Amino acid sequence: MFDLNFAGSFDVHFNRMNGTLPIELSNCTNLQQFQIGFNGFKGPFPTDEINSLTGLSLLDLSNNNFDRMPLPNFANLTSLESLFMENMRLAGTLPAWLFQLPKLESLDLNANRITGTIPSSISNAHSMETINLGENQLKGTIPTEIGMLDELIWIILGKNQLTGTLPTTFGQLQKLEYLDLADNMLDGEIPPEVCELWNYSLKSLGFKGPPPSCIELSSWLGGLTCPSFACCRVCGDLLP
């Protein structure tokens, strides 16, 4: 199957495939997209074989049953634009190399067991458009450096153990459309700088379906409160 050195794309996601990934995977040196998400692959993760695919722009490994491990080191994949590793029982902390991939636009590490803090080196991810770090075990405060990600469209940090306040630097994210902070331990008000985004691009603050009432809003936002009807459009829209 993996003696396909002519192939540019390999996509078998959303099937019922299982077993281990063979070492022959490294033969596919021309691969640009490798998608095996939502299958039953298991066993040791073939980090070396994946790292030999230096032309990859899309790598989707989500929802498989590989042995529990830290996030594999993919620093060698400098062409990578999209990395999806949702629900893979990944452990350990967020490595520095992750935010140094020069072309990475989409990152999904949702529903793993990642611990530690969100590093300030996230500021290096200049091309990032979407980040999903939800449903992990991240602690500490949200780094102000996220406000330096000019291309960011949506970010999910919900269902972690984050504390502190929402940085005012989020107000610099003029392309931000979706911000999910639900089920954390944040406190304080939503900064006016973030509320101002309602006048630009922000469409949702982490809830699905009809907006909750202002009283319920703080639980959806991980503990933050809405400062005023004038500032926060979510509350303002609920006025008679």
CA atoms of 226 and 235, how far apart (whole Å) = 7
Q: Where are the beta strands (DSSP E) in the chain?
A: 9-11, 18-19, 33-35, 40-43, 58-60, 65-66, 69-70, 82-84, 90-91, 106-108, 130-132, 139-140, 154-156, 161-164, 178-180, 185-186
pLDDT tens for each residue of 138-194: 999 999 999 999 999 999 999 999 999 889 999 899 898 888 888 888 887 777 777
Residue 211's pLDDT band (boundaries 50, 70, 90)? very low
User: If you average pLDDT over each of 9-18, 75-84, 172-181, which comes out highest?
Assistant: 75-84
